[in-house]
Amino acid sequence: METQIFQPNQVEAAAALLKAGQLVAFPTETVYGLGADATNETAVKKVYAAKGRPSDNPLIVTVTGQAMVEEYAQPLSATAQKLMQAFWPGSLTLILNLQPGALSKAVTGGLRTAAFRNPKNKTTLNLIQAAGVPIVGPSANTSGKPSPTLAQHVYHDLNGKIAGIVDDGPAAVGVESTILDLTADVPTILRPGAVTEEQLAAVIGTVRSNHHKVGATEVPKAPGMKYKHYAPDAQVYIVDQVADWPAALQWAAQQTTPVGVMAVDSVLADQTLPANAEVFSLGTDIASASHLLFDGLRHFDLESPVKNILTQGFPPVGLGAAYMNRLNKSAGQMHFSK
């Protein structure tokens, strides 16, 4: 299969492929997603095959807004409507109860719920509008690898496996959406993202976070809860404190191969970097670090192969919660120890 590259003004052609049951990657403000007609079970199953994704890992349903959600979900609560008004289009995914038989088990992982997202990207909203159906939207990468923030990342992983990619430049946010479960007794964050717990609580009151580890036989309600995610080929180590960097870089200097170093500019400027350090800047703060995290991990996979990557940690509050969630998964919970 030849994977075509479409520009934003070519969404009609890309939508025609979706309507024909093919897979097309699309841009969002968070990361690139892999689209298929969410109402076409055969097309949805192709997503799992292209990504190498476990079939019990449910897919996010990407929509143009509340009206499209109402075609498939149970009647929306006042809470759901408040959240949609406050954060849609944007980086918030809502898990809702479905109407019976509204979507295939291939979308839901066999659950009676589904996750819905309305992305803040005009090109993709135009694409869904042209297709006339919601589209599933897991990250457009090989399962387990860092999420793609550029069309080139998608092409690297999925060239020849999907029909097309809509290229709308770099993703603005760089980490996936916050997933909020509205089917729980208390609205529960299953995956932190750019919309923070504090922002959600300001709109709907009490919100809790779920750190439950999904068991081997349990079906997760949202992506990222069960399987390995975001991992480059190299082993990632988290450097938790600025004070730990001298020891971490001393360890790096003792390695016989190049070592990746990912940190903000102020940390890099204050350290003595060994000759074998391959540096990738995470910018100036947690916002830029979140935006650049996957790009950096992809950089070391594609352009500067290393066996180990030292990466700066941040306090897990606000946007730092999303950053550390992704970084801990990419590192397999491995932290640098003096």
CA distances from 68 to 71, 72, 146, 259 (A): 5, 7, 30, 48
Alpha carbons 165 and 14: distance in angstroms, whole number:
8
- Which stretches does DSSP call E strand in 63-198? 92-97, 113-117, 135-136, 164-166, 178-181, 188-191
Q: Which residue in 54, 56, 50, 55 sits closest to 35, CA to CA?
A: 50
Annotated binding residues: 30, 53, 57, 113, 117, 139, 147, 177, 191, 230
Annotated binding residues for L-threonine: 30, 117, 177
Q: Which residue in 311, 186, 179, 301 sits closest to 245, CA to CA?
A: 311
165 burial via Cβ count (<10 Å: 0-12, 13-18, 19+): buried
Look up residue 171 and give its two tokens.
């993703």
Alpha carbons 203 and 132: distance in angstroms, whole number:
31
- CA dihedral of 251, 254, 260, 263, whole degrees rounded to 10: 30
Alpha carbons 91 and 201: distance in angstroms, whole number:
15
Annotated binding residues for ATP: 53, 57, 113, 139, 147, 191, 230
Beta strand pairing status for 24-26 and 113-117?
unpaired
Looking at the chain, list the stretches that DSSP marks H as alpha helix, in order from N- to C-terminal side: 11-19, 41-51, 66-70, 78-87, 105-108, 122-131, 151-158, 197-204, 245-253, 265-270, 286-302, 319-331
Alpha carbons 200 and 206: distance in angstroms, whole number:
8
